[in-house]
Structure formats: C-alpha cells, structure tokens
Amino acid sequence: MAFRVAIAQINPRLGDVAANLAIYEEQIRLAAKRGADLLLFPELSLTGYFLRDMVPNVALRLSAPEIDRLKKLSRDMAFVAGLVEEGPDYRFYNAAVYFDRGEARHVHRKVYLPTYGMFDEQRYFARGDRVRAFDTRFGRLAVLICEDLWHPSTIYLAALDGAVTVLCPSTSPLRGISDGEPQDDNARYWEMINRAYAETFSLFMVYGNRVGFEDGVGFWGGSEIVDPFGRRIAKAKYYEEDFIAGNIALDAVRRKRAAAPLLRDEDIDLTVNELLRIRERPSNVKPARLVKGLRVIRGSKGLGGRGKNPKKRR
C-alpha cells in the first residue's frame, strides 16, 4: 500500500475559528492539487494556541456546524484537524480529529498537558485518557499531540496497538538559539526523537508544527516526514509558512520489521507486570499526623499510596 501525505505548516489566527477554517479550505485545495491523499494540520490550528480564557468560546462539539463543514471538506481529502473539543460533560479538550469521506472517524484527546515554563494547559483543558491506533484506508494510524510524544510510553502503546504511521500535530515554540545552527534547540530535540521513534518502532513519523507568533512566543515550523529507516522524506522550512508532501509506501515498514523485529519480540506481560510492581511499590511517606484535630492519613488511596483501609493504620 502506498499513499501521499502532506503537512500544512500554517500560521493560524488566535481565537478566530472562521478565519482559520478558511485557511483549512485553502490548504485542502492545495493538497488536492499536489496529489495528496492525507493532510495533517498543526495542533490547535483551528483556534490558535494561547487561548486561555477563550477556550470555552472557541470549543466545538462534534455536532457543531463547523464540524459539519469539516466533514464535507473531507469527502475528497482525508485530514487531521487541531481544535478544542467540548465533551458532553462540558469539559474542554485539546483534540485532533481525523476526518475522512465525510465523517469524523477518530478523536484523540491530548493526554499529557504541559504545565512548565510558558505552558499552562492543565488550567484550561481536561486530560485525555487513552492512546489508540485505528484502522483507515491508509493502514493503521495513531495520532499523538505534541507533548504526548515527549513521553515514550505513548509511542510505545501506539506501536504495540499496530500503528504503522504516527501523525503528530504540534505547536512547538522557539527555545534556545545556538550560534551557527539553522534551528533552535527545541527543533533539534524534536528531530532527534522523530528519527529515533521511527527507527526504533519501524514506522513512519509525520510531524506537523506551526509557525508565527502568539503572545510574544514564536513557533519554529520545521515539519517533517520520516520513514522507518530514519530517513527524511520531506522537510519544511524553519520559521515560515510552508507546505510539504511525501510518498509513504508501507512496504518499508515490512522490510524494516523483517530486518529488526523488535516489536515482534516485545514481552508485553513483562512490561505490564513490572509496571504493576512499580505502581504498588510503597513510597517513603511520613507517619500520619494530626492537623487541627483532623487525622491526615498519608499513603492512603489518592495520595500516592497503596489504597489500604485507613482504619487498619491506626
């Protein structure tokens, strides 16, 4: 199986869903002209990133008119959109939605929400609670959003779940410019893990980052497509809007996994058993203490301990 994947490295407008939807339409038309079958948009590219208190204003339910418009656009072009999804319980998620043939066929909610440095996502978004690969006409795919991929467990789960291509919509900012280097330190780290994951798990990595500035923060672009042998198929420009496309032939996955059958040899039971052991390992907690007449049970369930009955700890 072979198909052509493209990445729209765009500069979305903060808080303006209508304007960004127009950009989506333009990029989808361009992708069709370039012969693409599947198009990746960056993280939160339908809304902009530093939304803060605007999150509820730009959030979309899957029944929203804007989602219907995206479904219609997907009749001739499959694509992954980055948006704020509103759940039925009024929680808001940093989400990536896979649209194809007039339907929203898969939703990934970002599971790792950064709260360090300039990031404050957990203040405004609810966390996703699953990592799933899913079947498509392009083979089995997985979507992981930006920070998700900085945690090796997510790519590991996606690969074990059968993904042969991982799509990563990202909003990665500039961090640390070194003299004589064409890209910043953040870009170099991303390029390293994209290649390492592609080679280690014998799959295609499709990484789509944005550009532009928001709230004084710049984004470095540099989107790329990497094959299972760690070879770069296509690379976007740094720091400016761009559109790239490359051919993906899944036979490359077969050849790499035949030569290096690491996934075949994975001992899932070993991994699960050791994770359970680590989770149940007692932590170094202080004895229970009295605070203003209220007994505080340290090490009880929900406080990092093993969930023992507090009455047995008197």
Residues acting as catalytic residues: 43, 110, 146
Instruction: Tell me if residue 75 falls in helix, strand or coil.
Output: coil
Provide the token pair at 234: 């296509």
Containing H/E element for 277?
A: helix 268-280
Task: Kindly give the residue spans of alpha helices, DSSP state H, lying in 79-184.
Answer: 152-160
The C-alpha atoms of residue 80 and residue 96 are separated, in whole angstroms, by: 6
Longest dimension (CA), the chain: 72
Find residue 39's DSSP bridge partners: 6, 79
Contact in structure between 144 and 165 (CB atoms under 8 Å): no
The C-alpha atoms of residue 166 and residue 251 are separated, in whole angstroms, by: 16
Containing H/E element for 139?
A: strand 139-143
Burial 165-178 (b: 16+ CB within 10 A, else e): bbbbbbbbbbbeee
Containing H/E element for 296?
A: strand 294-296
CA angle, corner 21, sides to 118 and 63, nearest 5?
95
Q: What Cα–Cα distance (Å) separates residue 22 from each residue in 25, 41, 69?
A: 5, 13, 11
Q: Which of 31, 262, 40 is nearest to 146 (CA)?
A: 40
Containing H/E element for 141?
A: strand 139-143
Query: What are the φ and ψ backbone dihedral angles of 98, each rounded to 5 degrees?
Result: -95, 115
